[in-house]
Amino acid sequence: MIERYTLPEMGGLWSEENKFQKWLDVELAVCEVHAEMGTIPREALQEIKWRAKFSVERINEIEKTTNHDVIAFTTNLAESIGPASRFVHYGLTSSDVVDTANALLLRDACDLLLQKIDGLLTVLKRRALEFKSTPQVGRTHGIHAEPTSFGMTFALWHDEMRRNRERLMRARETVAVGKISGAVGSFAHLDPVVEEKVCARLDLRPAPVSTQIIQRDRYAEFLGTLAIIASSLDKFALNVRHWQQTEVREAQERFTVGQKGSSAMPHKRNPIISERICGIARVVRANSQVGLENVALWHERDISHSSAERVVLPDSSIALDYILHKATSLIEGLVVYPERMLENLNATRGLIFSGQLLLALTRKGVSREVAYEWAQRNAMKVWDEGKDFQTLVKADADIKAHLSVEELECAFSLTSYLSNVDAIFERVFGGKLDVGPHR
């Protein structure tokens, strides 16, 4: 991932230095188990642990000749260790090291992403409670529908991110699996106990069965999970982009001192963070397709997956880490305009209460079909002639014959639309809630 979208901690996790360190962690764990089981001398283990070191620059230099990065790595280790290096990589194949190290990297990446999700959940809950009683028009098909609570949007997103957290926890468990089973996974040169003990030392589970590699459905699940989370963030940001449109202007990204919106138009305030989140989410989704393509490999293995994984595993982790960070900042700093929401609620001159009017008429004994026709004929005059819906309804002889003035006033009230928000919030957040002031 390019530096522009790389945060330090996740970028450091996927650095070449850390990758080779994880390779070394696996090699040392194998040596420790071999020494414990008497396969290699304990003196050799002490020599290996004391002397083993690597240089990224030197590994890259050796690889120019070997054209094999794991051999370049073990060759570099041998240069530092000396004669005892003959016991390094004992009975292993390259994928034993690479795939087990990948499990460590993916597990750690999940932990960083889980931290980011927890931070976003905290912000979503705070903003949900802040705007729990703030009325906003709901939209379906992009058209004004009925009133809702602005805070419910954040409650909805909180519930979705909680599901995403659970998905990521499952993906973490799926990828935190090592294999130390040799060239085609048959343990021809290793006791299966070695794999069990090595994985236990690394806090991984051993793969119940493997070929020369960990099976790539595991990586596909990880990348697919990241794609789902990115898609959720895409959805959140898309809503912000709409709210910030000039004609809507119900909320907008924080515009900081010194920020510029356009090189040509000084007046512009553009939803650039939201648009960036939407754009990078496309990259994460596209990478998940690579994960699916990598599941089908020839027989015990081929290497067509390897080059692609060097790109998509770090890039997806880094990209999602970045947009989780940006989404948290976006929602935390979102500037909200409740007065503009009220203006938009009134923009259709009462049409948003048509559903409530329909129910009021059916409660008075009018069939649903007839009540719908009465409400719709007045609503169409509002659309086509620009008239006020409530005024038309009060003048409609059929409706007046069934609803009193008080019942009509009640049908055009916001109160019922927000009456059950507390119950919804208790479902999402649990228990009685200490909410902010009525907005």
Catalytic sites, residue numbers: 141, 262
Q: Phi and psi of 271, rounded to 5°?
A: -80, 65
- Other C-beta atoms lying within 10 Å of the C-beta of residue 61: 12
Beta strand pairing call for 335-336 and 177-178: unpaired
The whole-angstrom separation of Cα 338 and Cα 75 is 66
The whole-angstrom separation of Cα 146 and Cα 50 is 70
Closest-CA residue to 103 (of 209, 177, 167, 210): 177
Beta strand pairing call for 135-140 and 335-336: unpaired
CA 240, 246, 250, 251 torsion: positive or negative? positive
The whole-angstrom separation of Cα 87 and Cα 158 is 52
The whole-angstrom separation of Cα 293 and Cα 316 is 16
The whole-angstrom separation of Cα 399 and Cα 366 is 10
* CB-CB contact of 112 with 316 (8 Å): no
Q: Which residues contact 425 (CB under 8 A, 6 or more apart)?
A: 128, 129, 132, 151, 155, 433, 435
* CB-CB contact of 197 with 225 (8 Å): no
Q: Which residues contact 279 (CB under 8 A, 6 or more apart)?
A: none
CA 56, 62, 67, 70 torsion: positive or negative? negative
